[in-house]
A = this chain, B = another copy of it.
Amino acid sequence: MNVDRAPATRSIVFHEGRLGRPERERLLGQQGCAVWLTGLSGSGKSTIARALEAVLYDEGRLVYVLDGDNLRHGLNADLGFSPADRRENVRRTGEVAALFADAGVIAVAALISPFASDREQVRRAVGAPNFIEVYLDVPLAVCEERDPKGMYRKARAGLMAEFTGISSPYEPPASPDLVLRTAEAGVEECVQSIRRELQKRGILPAP
């Protein structure tokens, strides 16, 4: 975890324990990281996250999914959908992903995270080599056709303000670490792409 950022007020000492990330990673037999799934609503983020979790669990890996929707019931329950609140939503989730990575856990974040600069901030918080930005590149028309939560329909009917892709912008990653096209590739294929990326980086052992 990057700890070079100064707190808002007061001089605060950073306490290092006798045990650090390497010891936890040794205990778990894996490297901590953050797999960051970004894309429109309906692009398949939660589905891919849960499928990745299941595949890695079966190999004995400790994975924890940070689902944007779920976090809005707890940590981010005070935030709405204005641009400022979306930024803070991504910032906090990114800091939590950094903590999980530091704990040695494979954190899988699934949230729209529409703004490029916010995702870059998360990359810095987690630390570049262990942050994997995965762009779910799915045409808006496909997401809208899927509409798993019926929200595009509501947004088109004007019943939902600030809905990403309709009335709020989405900034695609300029250079994502991985691109998944769930309109064309199946879930299993997408999961294996992420798995190979984790192996390539040494986060998972090579096959």
Residues of A within 8 A of B (CB): 1-3, 5-10, 12-15, 17-19, 23-24, 27-28, 46, 49-50, 53-54, 57, 60, 62, 64-67, 69-70, 72-81, 92, 95-96, 98-100, 102-105, 125, 149, 160
Contacts and interface: CB of A to CB of B under 8 A. Distances in A.
Copies of this chain held together in the complex: 2
A186 to B, nearest CB: 17
Contacts of A3: 70, 73-74
B96 A23 contact: no
Given A8-B80, A105-B105, 6 more contacts: A5-B74, A7-B77, A15-B50, A66-B99, A74-B99, A74-B125
A112 to B, nearest CB: 12
Could you tell me the dominant secondary structure of chain A's interface residues? loop
A103 B10 contact: no
A173 B77 CA distance: 26
Nearest to A88: B78
A98 B74 contact: yes
Interface centre among A70, A72, A76 (most CB of B within 10 A): A70
Contact of A50 (B17, B74, B103): B17
A76 B88 CA distance: 11
B8 A78 contact: yes
